[in-house]
Structure 1
Amino acid sequence: MEKKKRENYLIVLLAGLIMIFLIYIGSTWGNKLKWDFTEENLYRLSSGSINVVKKLNSPLRIKLYYSKTAANKGTEGIRAFNNYFTYVKDLLLEYVGHSRNNLTLEIIDPRPDTGDEENAITYGIRKFNLSETESYFFGMVVENDVGTEKIIEFFDPGEKDKLEYAITKTIYSVARPAKKKIGILSSLPLQSDLNPYLAQMMRMQGKNPPESWAITELLSEFYQIEKIDPMAQEIKGIDVLLVVHPKNFTEKIKWAIDQYVLGGGNLLLLVDPMAVIDRPVNPSAGFSRSSNLPVLMENWGVKLEEGVFVGDKSLAGLGRVTPEAPPAKMLQIVSCDERCTSPYKDITTTGLYDLVFLLPGSLKILDKKAVPILGTTEIGNTFSASEFELNDPIALWHKFSGGEGRVMGVKIMGMFSSAFPKGITVETKKLTGLTRSKREASIIVIADVDFIHHQFAFKETLFGLALANDNANLFLNSVENLSGSTDLLSIRSKGVKKRKFNVIDEIELEADKETAETVTRINASISEAQTELDKLGAQVNEGNLAVIKSQALNKKRELDKRLAFYKGQLREVKRQGREKIENIGRFFQYLNTLLIPLLLIMGGLIYNTIRSRRNAREV
């Protein structure tokens, strides 16, 4: 008996030691052992983010401000933010885990009238007043030892798909704080070279001085701008090259662009089959509004289809050919919503649901390095038209036939070979250079130029120009992504996925079909009755007025009865569809409620059966 007791004590002691050991393993090594079972790997960093934090060579501090106490005291809508806070915190811990001890995370709950609250306000974290005594913060600060700091002023759950990119960009910006330089090369007057004093003198004389485009002015608020000479032989000293409407470019400047990309330079290229804003002062015969760089583009893996435009009846925007004409849907205008950007899940275009393009071009992908980031719906197609035909939108609409979708924007990343492997000859002088990439480069190509002009990207307000849509955001996103590293460009948006309920969708579709048939019958009955009433009205004269009135009343009563019958059918179809959907909902509600208890009962019964059999064998 004494021996049995000692054995029991020993078992309890060993169990305690094993539990302590497992707790220790779980709290140390267990943090590194994680499995992400979500469909889009929501809790796992992309390789681009991991590379950014691994390349950190100095310590950075992350301060996550979240008013958890205030949220717990707040309404249900505010408390719901706790789940998103947990997700943000877990993601930041992933960054810390990959940073080789160069990132530290501090979580702060800023209470009212404390130094933490003052610091949050000083940093620029957005403050929301929940009551007279409680304030709410949910933002982040990243800072280094020399005082450089960047913030995310508020974590919006609606932008969860861009969360990883926002965090990685903030960390990257603090690690590399210098202002980037953008080189602009264009056949259009994006920048004005006029001295501000001379511009003022021209205004005083009643003249309109040439001015920089609004998009260029906006760009200059974030970057240093440098104009590239179209006759340049070499492009260097810039972080991103912006080439807009490359029309009539010489072989020398094409060579310079080629060498710039081979040297690892990033490029944003805007080409166009017909740039409407390219308006010459003195138009001449044979004047072309198209731009293309076929030799370079095809070498990079993408081609602009010559002489055709992209159209999509489901994306056609409203417009008018002349001021007097009534507004109508026009194939020439592609008014993009989420269907143009969401399928590609690229950080450059994610969240841009209001884009307007005028006669955009179609890009054909020739190499797997090129991936689409912007396109039409599955019924989009190309069409060709002369300038005369473009002035007849109705004829163009009927002439157009849908296709399988077209691409209007691509991103190309990788190593390239030269489009001029043997060099070029300029004025009897032989130019040779790189034949293959020294390092990886990134290129974004968009087949439209008009979308960045202030006519299509901005609108006049009482306070000056304001953004009219997401056109300027697409342009700025492209420049911003290219001005970072290729690691930043490789981050894809995630976390937004519309999961379809196929059974419910089929029920609703069937109900819609039956409803449509009933509505058609109702409209046909109304039309038929109205025709008969019109015929009776045409037969009225002084002699038969009373008879006609009586017949008309009878017809109206008959029509009312028929309408009441059809409306009853309509209600019945809708009720049946609604009941089917509600029954499915109730089934899953009961399943969720009863499944766990049933599993526990079954588990208990199985365990009890096994134990009974084991005891029976021992006896």
Structure 2
Amino acid sequence: MSGLLGMERKKLAIAGMVMAAVFFFFLNILATGEIKTAQLDLTQDKLFTLSDGTKEILRTIDEPLTFRFYYSNKFGEISPLHGNYSKRVQEMLEQIALVSDGKVKVKIINPEPFSIEEDEAVKMGIQGIPLDQSAEMGYFGLAANNSTDDRKNITFFNPQREQFLEYDLTRLVFELASPKKKKIGLITGLLLEADPLLQYKPWPIMAQITQFFEVQSIGSEVNQIPDDIDVLLIIHPRVNRENFAYAIDQFVMRGGRVLAFLDPQNESARMTPQAPPGAGSSDLGKLFKTWGIDFEPDKFVGDRTAAVRVSAKVQGRDVIADYLSYNVFQGRRLNQDDVVTAQLNTLQVASAGHLALAEGSKLEMTPLVTTSTQAQHIDASLVRGEIDPQKILNQYKSDNRSFTIAARFSGPVKSAYPEGPPPPEKKSNKKPDADKIQKPLPPHINQSKSDLNMIVFADTDLLTSRFWVRQQDFFGQNIQVPVSNNADFLVNSLDNLSGSQDLISLRSRGLSVRPFYRIRDLATAAEEKYRSTEQQLTAKLKDLQKKLSGLNMEEKPGAKAPILTTEQTKAFQKFRSEMLDVRKQLREVQHNLRKDIEELDTVLKILNIWTVPIVVAVIAIVMAFIRRRRYNQPQIQG
């Protein structure tokens, strides 16, 4: 009887395996043909799912768009990295076409050598990549156009920009289908639009701004901000005229929105030999004082946990130390509840200041970027002139509080000029140009028509290229790869202040830098604990070496080595013994500096390597035990 039961079980098992194979075969066909676009995105930031901003932009398209994806199959065979990335690009294009409800048409083209398709790719500006010595070219780019034949393209899909893929594609849709750009008024004391160091080319950050907005420069000679300005962008200003400050004041009173970047010390100004002392700082003193905003232009904030380790030459010697002026703020230091910073991951700043509400201020301040509590408010004179990172680090003493370096300010404000506009400046005898004749000022406004809506960042260095972008030459094509979200913060802020919100949700998708915060905190705490001990031991070691070198040794003619007296010999042995002991203590301090980190690292390795196998083994043993009991149960009953 038991033999028959065993045979029946074997037949059922074989039949079950056959049915399972048939089921998966037909399920695969169904998935390929009917639910090709279905997916399960298990990444924390939903990197493989279209964001709400993308979907909203796609829903607002009112004309057909055509995307031509040029990809050489042979290129993918030669370079598996680009081959795998091409699948990611194609999947994203298919999702965009699906969500757009047919308004975006995607054509996938394989440009064979010397074909009409290759000629078309070249005409569209797609970058060709040499595949071999025969001058055969490979292509991996995108050309897009709208119904009026406006064209945009991505000349080459660089895998290093994979985390920005959705942004790059949606940007093309936005630029081809978006309405008229908002107008930004730019006030700056920096050479953003024509820098001599860049052969009078604009800073790369300007390309980020002009991509989405129309920019109008506003000089310090104006007495009134034009009415058609949507957002006033103030970057390291030189407000040295009362009439100019009044123009900014009245723009805010009319309900104008402001994005301001101020700085206790701008690195570019410090590096300029002709710059006078203090030229690197900027503020809006009188306006801020009246509106209730506190900003000290002579102090910067140094965060011990966010400091960048640098190598510098100070007075001819190399110094390696954590530079408190250079800070990198990541995830948890950025406000996750504000649309401007919610999806940013990394901001790099230099000599950033501190923002706060003045006593009695009626404004509401929403911090956007804050330091840890291991931060100090430091005199800005330490970052003016020659920089000594070790000197700044040695004077460090935590203020045991968090500082705000970027914030949103809102609420009612009054004019900094309650008695009206300042007196007109004395006119020179020189006849002004017709286009520079000032229009009559509009009626004075003493109380803001609507609540202040302003974002302030107490740093300007974050806009310089070296703090946010790395430029690479790829077969003659200049490719910019962002290394931080500094430019995203600027454009997000302008988007938000100008009322445009659709692109905010997708600018930083995929910049999923998740540092080991626990390890970083342990490293900082351990270094803080042992740093003072190490400094004392190092000083003692130098003192002993000085004493050894100070021993007066007698040299006799014909002797191969100096002759020591009995007392000198005892002193030498004593100093040498103490020096060896100090060296031993230094090694112990350096060992203890890494002990806690190595212990945590060991625990993480054990968890990562052994947790899953142990869980699987336990489940397998339990299932085997259950199956064994079920298999033996009929025999016992029989």
Specify if TM > 0.5: yes
Residues 159 and 304 of structure 1: is their aligned pair in 2 closer, same or farther, counting only changes over 3 Å?
Answer: farther
In the alignment, which of 498, 504, 520 is matched to residue 489 of structure 1?
504
What does residue 401 of structure 1 align with? 397
Change (3 A) 1:541 1:237: same
SS at match of 1:63: strand
Q: 2:413: which partner in 1?
A: 419
Q: CA 1:595–1:473 in 2, change beyond 3 Å: closer, same or farther?
A: closer
Residue 228 of structure 2 aligns to a residue whose secondary structure is: coil
1:336 and 1:353 in contact (8 A); partners too: no
Distance 1:350 1:37, change over 3 A: closer
Partners of 1:252 and 1:147 in 2: how far apart?
Answer: 42
1:297 to 1:68, Cα distance in 2 relative to 1, 3 A: farther
Contact 2:366-2:407 within 8 A present in 1 as well: yes
The letter for the 2-side match of 1:383 is: I
| Cα separation, 2, equivalents of 1:356 and 1:19 | 57
Fraction of identical pairs, as percent: 18
Counterpart residue type for residue 538 of structure 1: M
Give the AA of the match of 1:408: I
The range that moved more, 239-248 or 21-30, is 21-30
Amino acid paired to 1:184: L
- Indicate whether 1:362 and 2:364 are aligned: no
TM-aligned CA distance change 1:582 to 1:529, over 3 Å: same
Following superposition of structure 1 onto structure 2, how do residues 23-62 of structure 1 map, counting pairs within 5 Å?
Answer: 26=31, 30=35, 34-62=39-67
Distance (Å, rounded) in 1 between the aligned partners of 2:598 and 2:225: 68
Aligned residue type for 1:446: F
CA deviation after TM superposition for structure 1 residue 614, in Å: 7.2
The one-letter amino acid of 1:165's match is: Y
| Distance (Å, rounded) in 1 between the aligned partners of 2:519 and 2:459 | 41
Q: 1:144 aligns with which of 123, 138, 146?
A: 146
2:70 is the counterpart of 1:65: yes
CA deviation profile, 1:446-478 (whole Å, cap 9, x unmatched): 2245777999999xxxxxxx9xx9999956972
Match of 2:252 in 1: 257
Cα–Cα, structure 1 residues 189 and 538, in superposed 2: closer, same or farther, change >3 Å? Answer: closer
**How far apart in 2 are the matches of 1:70 and 1:455?**
32
Q: Cα offset for 1:589?
A: 6.6
Helix, strand or coil for the counterpart of 1:139?
strand
**Distance in 2 of aligned mates of 1:406 and 1:60:** 47
Aligned counterpart, 2:262: 271
| CA RMSD between the two structures | 6.7
| Aligned-partner Cα distance in 2 for 1:99–1:501 | 40
Cα distance change, pair 591–119 in 1 and its aligned pair in 2 (3 A): farther
Q: Tell me the equivalent position of 1:175.
A: 177
One-letter amino acid of the structure 1 residue matched with residue 556 of structure 2: N
Hey, what does 1:463 align to over in structure 2? none
Does 1:241 pair with 2:241? no
**Helix, strand or coil for the counterpart of 2:406?**
strand
Give 1:434 deviation, angstroms. 7.8
Alpha-carbon deviation of 1:54?
A: 2.1
1:79 Cα deviation from its structure 2 partner: 0.9
Structure 1 CA distance for aligned equivalents of residues 520 and 193 of structure 2 = 55
Relative to the length of structure 1, the TM-score reads 0.61
Size of the aligned set, in residue pairs, is 542
Residue in 1 aligned with 2:300?
310
**Structure number having the greater helix percentage:** 1
- Aligned counterparts of 1:367 and 1:26: Cα–Cα separation in 2: 56
Shift of 1:538: 0.8
SS in 1 for 2:506: coil
- Aligned equivalent of 1:204: none
Alignment of 1:7-406 (within 5 A): 26=31, 30=35, 34-71=39-76, 73-74=77-78, 78-132=79-133, 135-176=137-178, 181-185=183-187, 223-227=214-218, 235-238=226-229, 240-244=231-235, 245=237, 247=239, 248=242, 250-251=245-246, 253-261=248-256, 267-273=258-264, 290-292=282-284, 303-306=293-296, 308-312=298-302, 314-315=307-308, 336=326, 338-339=328-329, 344=334, 356-357=350-351, 360-364=352-356, 370=366, 372=368, 379-384=374-379, 399-403=395-399, 404=401, 406=403
1:478 and 1:182 map into 2 onto residues whose CA distance is 12
Alignment of 1:594-613 (within 5 A): 610=630, 613=633
**Which amino acid counterpart does residue 51 of structure 2 have in structure 1?**
S
DSSP-derived class of the 1:409 partner = strand
Q: Deviations over 1:311-332 (max 9, x none)?
A: 4274598999xxx97699899x
Distance 2:561 2:23 in 1: 103
Q: Which amino acid aligns with 1:409?
A: A
Distance in structure 2 (CA, Å) of the matches to 1:157 and 1:124: 19
Alpha-carbon distance in structure 1 between the residues aligned to 2:618 and 2:34: 36
Verify the 8 A CA contact 1:310 1:406 in the aligned structure 2: no
Provide the C-alpha distance between the structure 2 equivalents of 1:372 and 1:21, rounded to a whole number of angstroms: 52
DSSP 3-state at the match of 1:64: strand
- Going from structure 1 to structure 2, the CA distance change for 1:410 and 1:101 (only over 3 Å counts) comes to farther
Partners in 2 of 1:47 and 1:584 — Cα distance? 36
CA deviations on 1:212-244 (whole Å, 9 max, x unpaired) are 996599669865534378765664334542224
Deviations 1:15-72 (A, max 9, x none): 999989967875677456543221222222333222222222222233333334432x
Distance 1:381 1:528, change over 3 A: closer
Query: Could you report, residue by residue, the CA deviation over 1:251-285 in whole angstroms, capped at 9, with x for unpaired residues?
Result: 56323234354xxxx64312345779699x9x9xx
Alpha-carbon distance change, 142 to 589 in structure 1, aligned in 2, over 3 angstroms: same
Shift, 1:173, TM fit: 1.4
Distance 1:29 1:578, change over 3 A: same
User: The residue matched to 2:502 in structure 1 has which SS?
Assistant: helix
Deviations 1:294-323 (A, max 9, x none): 867998xx9443355214274598999xxx
Query: Which residue is equivalent to 1:447?
Result: 458
